Amino acid sequence: MFAPKHILLAACTACTLTITPALAQQRYNLGRPATPAEIAGWDIDVKADGTGLPKGRGTVAAGAAIFAEKCAACHGAKGEGSVANKLAGGGGTLNTAGALKTVGSFWPYPTTLFDYIRRAMPHNAPQSLKSDEVYSLTAFILNVNGVIDAKAEMNQATLPKVQMPNKGGFKQVVD
Amino acid sequence: MDQTLERRAPAEEARAPNPRRAFLRRGAALTTAAGLLGAGRAEALEPEKAAPALLPPNVPPWTRSQGGPFINPPYGLPSRHEVGVVRVLPQPAAAFPTGSRTPLQNLHGIITPSGLVYERHHAGVPDIDPNAHRLMLHGLVERPMMFTMEDLARFPSVSRIHFLECSGNSSAELKKPTGKTAQEIHGLLSCCEWTGVALSTVLQEAGIKRDAKWVLAEGADGAAMTRSVPLGKALDDALLVYAQNGEMLRPEQGYPLRLFLPGFEGNMSVKWLRRLKLGTEPFETREETAAYTDLLPDGTSLQFTFHMEAKSVITFPSGGQKLKARGFYEISGLAWTGRGKVKRVEVTLDGGKTWVEARLQEPVLSKALARFRLPWQWDGGPALIASRCIDDTGTQPGMGEVLKLRGANSNYHNNAIQYWKIDADGSVQNVRA
C-alpha cells in the first residue's frame, strides 16, 4: 500500500467551506479520461453570465406556439398555472402573506430559465427540445412576465443581458 | 446575516433548578422493568382484544405447530402485523407529489430501515442499469475523468451514519399547525449508514485546479437535478454513496450512485449522480434560486443556507397517538443537528415553563439522529410536552423566534420546537404553544 488513506482524510477534515487547501497527491489510477465528445453530450449547464449557452435563437412568437403545444396543459395558456407551477405574475407580492414566487417575480437570472427548460422540460420528455425551441420558450415566458418586449430575440448574446425584476433580491449566506 | 442567528434562545431557564428533575431521575429506575411497555407503541397494540384461546393457560397454535419455511420470501419483509408502518404521501394528493414521509413515530433507535427512508424526487424514480451508469468529472480539473460503478467500488471505502433531512421538512407548520402526526410534520427525515468513497479521494484522481471553488452535482434522472456545492464541503466530509444500511442504494435513494453531504439540506445530496463539474462560482441552478432559497418577511431571500440546524421532535407520545391509562410511559424522540453532535436534549412537560434533561442513547454521532428518552408518570391530566435540541451553536428556537427571524413565507429550514398537547382522554395533538 502506498500513502495511507487516513493521512489524506485527516488533511481534508481541516478544510472550511471557503478555503482550498494544497492537497497531497494521492492517485489510485482508477477510471479513464473523459473524451471531449462525451463531455459535450452531457455538459448542459448554463451559468449566470451565459457561459454554456448554445448557438441558436428564439422568439416570443415561436415560443408561444411551442408553449401552447407542450407546456400549457400543465402551466396554463399564459403560464398562469394549473397542475404545475405558476410561471407568471406575483410582482410586488414577495413581502406579503400571499407571496407568489414565479419566474417574473422571483427568479434572479434569465439564464437559469434556459438551463432548467433544457434539462428538465417538458415533464413528459425532458432533454427533447432543440436549442431554438428552448430559446423561444425562454423568450415567451420572459415576455408573459413583462420582462422582455414581444419583438425581442433571445440568443447567446441577448439572454444573459436580460435584467430580472428580483435580481437584487438574494443574499448569499454560504453556510 | 448569519443564519445561525436564527436559532439563539436563552439557555438560562434550562439551567434553573427544577423540582421535577429529581422525581424524573427516580422514575428512570422503572424504565427497565417497563421496557416492553416503552418499546411498544400503544396506539397500534390492542392486547385486550386478543382471543382467550390464544392466551394462557391455553397454548396458542404457533407454539403447537411448525412455522413457515426459510427464505419466504428470499428478501425478507416485516411481520404482516406491521403493515401499517409505511411511508405516506401528503393528503390531499397533489398532481405532482413532492415527497413521501418516514413513519418516525413507529421507529426505534436511530436507524431508518431502507424501505422507510423518505423520498423526494423531481422527475420520478429512474430505473438505472448500473453497468450503463457513468460518473463524469470535469471542469476545473487537471484530467477530466469518467468512472464506472466498478471503478468507484474499487476506491478505498468509508461507512458513516448520518441523518438526511429535506430543508422543506415541517414547512407547512410555518403558516399554522397542519400535520397530525410526527410522520406528517417531520417525516422528511431519515438516518442510515451510508457507504461509498470520499469525494475528496475521487477529486484527487482528477486533480483540482487552483481556481476551483465550487462543484456542480447533476443527476441522471429526468430532472437532471443540479446543485452547487462549495469545494470546501466536497473536500471535508462529502461522500459518493452506493450503499445504505449494508445493501446497495434503493432506487428511490439514488441507485446506483448519489452524492451525500452530511448535515446539509437533503436536496444537495444529489441522487442518481452522473456528473460533477468544478467551477469558480456557484452555477445558480433552479434548485438554488427559484427553490431552496428562504424568503424573508421583507421580500428578500437567503441563498445557500446549507446547514440543517438543531432540531428535535418527541415521537412518543406524538400526534395521533393515544395514551390508554395513567401511569408509566417513556417519552422518546429524535434530535439532530447538521452542525455536528447533539450536546443535550431537554424536555418540557408543562408547556415550556420548565425543562428537564433527557437521556441520550450512546453513541451520539456527528450529523446523525440522536435518540433521547425520559421516564414519565402520566397523572391522567392534560399536558403540553415538547423537546429542544442543544448543539455547539445554540438552542433550538421556538416557533415565535423562527417566525420573527424568518417569517411564515420562508418555507425552508423550519427547526421550531414541536409541541404536543395531551388531553385528559389521552389523545395527542399537534399544537402551537
Site from B158, B202, B278, B285 to mutate, A interface, most A CB atoms within 10 angstroms: B285
Partner residue facing B1 (CB), from A21, A127, A171: A171
Closest chain B C-alpha to A86 CA, distance in angstroms: 12
Question: CB under 8 Å to B250, separation ≥6 — which residues?
Answer: B114, B115, B117, B244
Partner residue facing A38 (CB), from B1, B146, B284: B146
- Residue B329 has φ and ψ, to the nearest 5°, of -140, 155
Q: How far does chain A reach from its first CA to its final CA, in angstroms?
A: 37
- Closest residue of B to A109, CA-based? B284
Partner residue facing B297 (CB), from A26, A33, A95: A95
pLDDT band at B5 (very low <50, low <70, confident <90, very high): very low
Of B283, B1, B203, residue with least CA distance to A15: B203
pLDDT of residue A25: 61
Spell out which residues of chain A touch residue B151, defining contact as CB-CB under 8 Å.
30-31
The stretch B47-76 carries a mean pLDDT of 97
User: For chain B, what percent of residues have pLDDT higher than 70?
Assistant: 90
d(CA B118, CA B101): 5
A27 near B CB under 8 A: yes
| Residues B39, B44, B45: CA angle, nearest 5 degrees | 75
| A115/B1 Cβ within 8 A | no
Spell out which residues of chain A touch residue B212, defining contact as CB-CB under 8 Å.
20
Q: Quick check: helix, strand or coil at residue A61? A: helix
Give domain status of residue A80, yes or no.
yes
Q: How far does chain B reach from its first CA to its final CA, in angstroms?
A: 27
Spell out which residues of chain B touch residue A33, defining contact as CB-CB under 8 Å.
143-146
Amino acid symbol at B407: G
d(CA B103, CA B352): 26
Domain count across chain A: 1
Of B418 and B23, the one with more pLDDT = B418
Q: What is the pLDDT of residues B150-178, one digit of tens each?
A: 999 999 999 999 999 999 999 999 999 99
Task: For residue B163, list its beta bridge partners.
Answer: B191
CATH fold of the domain at B110-181+188-293: Sulfite Oxidase; Chain A, domain 2 (3.90.420)
- Whether the CB-CB separation of B233 and A12 falls below 8 Å is answered with no
Spell out which residues of chain B touch residue A23, defining contact as CB-CB under 8 Å.
200, 204, 208, 235
pLDDT band at B21 (very low <50, low <70, confident <90, very high): very low
pLDDT of residue B44: 65
Which stretch of DSSP H or E encloses residue B140? none
Domain span at A134: 37-168
CA-to-CA separations, B306 to A37, A103, A113, B151, B293, in angstroms, rounded: 34, 23, 23, 30, 10
| B295/A94 Cβ within 8 A | yes
pLDDT of residue B95: 87
Question: Domain boundaries in chain B?
Answer: 17-33+308-431, 110-181+188-293
Give domain status of residue A120, yes or no.
yes
- Closest residue of A to B212, CA-based? A20
| B305/A175 Cβ within 8 A | yes
Nearest 10 degrees: CA dihedral of B234, B236, B242, B243? -150
| B138/A107 Cβ within 8 A | no
Q: What is the pLDDT of residues B207-252, one digit of tens each?
A: 999 999 999 999 999 999 999 999 999 999 999 999 999 999 999 9
Q: Taking 60 as the threshold, does the pLDDT of residue B26 lie above it?
A: no
| Half-sphere exposure of residue B32: CA atoms within 13 angstroms, side-chain side | 2
d(CA A31, CA B152): 8
B366 burial type by CB count under 10 A (0-12 exposed, 13-18 middle, 19+ buried): middle
- Residue B63 has φ and ψ, to the nearest 5°, of -90, -20
Average pLDDT, rounded, for chain B: 91
| A30/B284 Cβ within 8 A | no
Residue A154 maps to which CATH number? Answer: 1.10.760.10
Site from A9, A85, A124 to mutate, B interface, most B CB atoms within 10 angstroms: A9
CATH architecture of B17-33+308-431: Sandwich (2.60)
| A16/B232 Cβ within 8 A | yes
d(CA B75, CA B127): 19
User: For chain B, what percent of residues have pLDDT higher than 90?
Assistant: 87
Partner residue facing B2 (CB), from A34, A84, A175: A175
For residue B363, the 8-state DSSP code is P
Q: How many Cβ pairs closer than 8 A exist between chain A and B?
A: 192
- Reading the block at residue A23, the C-alpha cell is 492537497
Closest chain A C-alpha to B73 CA, distance in angstroms: 36
Other C-beta atoms within 10 Å of B306: how many?
23
Give domain status of residue A101, yes or no.
yes
Give domain status of residue A7, yes or no.
no
pLDDT band at B91 (very low <50, low <70, confident <90, very high): confident
pLDDT of residue B141: 98
- Reading the block at residue B318, the C-alpha cell is 406524538
Spell out which residues of chain B touch residue A21, defining contact as CB-CB under 8 Å.
235
| A31/B146 Cβ within 8 A | yes
Site from B261, B264, B284 to mutate, A interface, most A CB atoms within 10 angstroms: B284
| B236/A15 Cβ within 8 A | yes
Spell out which residues of chain B touch residue A114, defining contact as CB-CB under 8 Å.
none
pLDDT band at B267 (very low <50, low <70, confident <90, very high): very high
Q: Taking 90 as the threshold, does the pLDDT of residue B24 lie above it?
A: no
| B295/A101 Cβ within 8 A | yes
d(CA B288, CA B304): 7
For residue A9, the 8-state DSSP code is H
- Backbone CA torsion sign across A116, A118, A119, A123: positive
Question: CB under 8 Å to B234, separation ≥6 — which residues?
Answer: B199, B200, B203, B215
| A21/B283 Cβ within 8 A | no
Spell out which residues of chain B touch residue A42, defining contact as CB-CB under 8 Å.
136, 218, 274-275
- Reading the block at residue A161, the C-alpha cell is 443581458
pLDDT per position in chain A (175 positions), as tens?
333 333 333 334 444 454 444 455 679 999 999 999 999 999 999 999 999 999 999 999 999 999 999 999 999 999 999 999 999 999 999 999 999 999 999 999 999 999 999 999 999 999 999 999 999 999 999 999 999 999 999 999 999 999 999 999 999 999 9
Spell out which residues of chain A touch residue B218, defining contact as CB-CB under 8 Å.
42, 45
Spell out which residues of chain A touch residue B279, defining contact as CB-CB under 8 Å.
47
| B136/A15 Cβ within 8 A | no
d(CA B427, CA B181): 12
d(CA B77, CA B72): 9
Chain B neighbours among A 135-164 (CB < 8 Å)?
none
Q: Taking 70 as the threshold, does the pLDDT of residue B305 lie above it?
A: yes
d(CA B158, CA B241): 9
Q: What is the pLDDT of residues B380-412, one digit of tens each?
A: 999 999 999 999 999 999 999 999 999 999 999
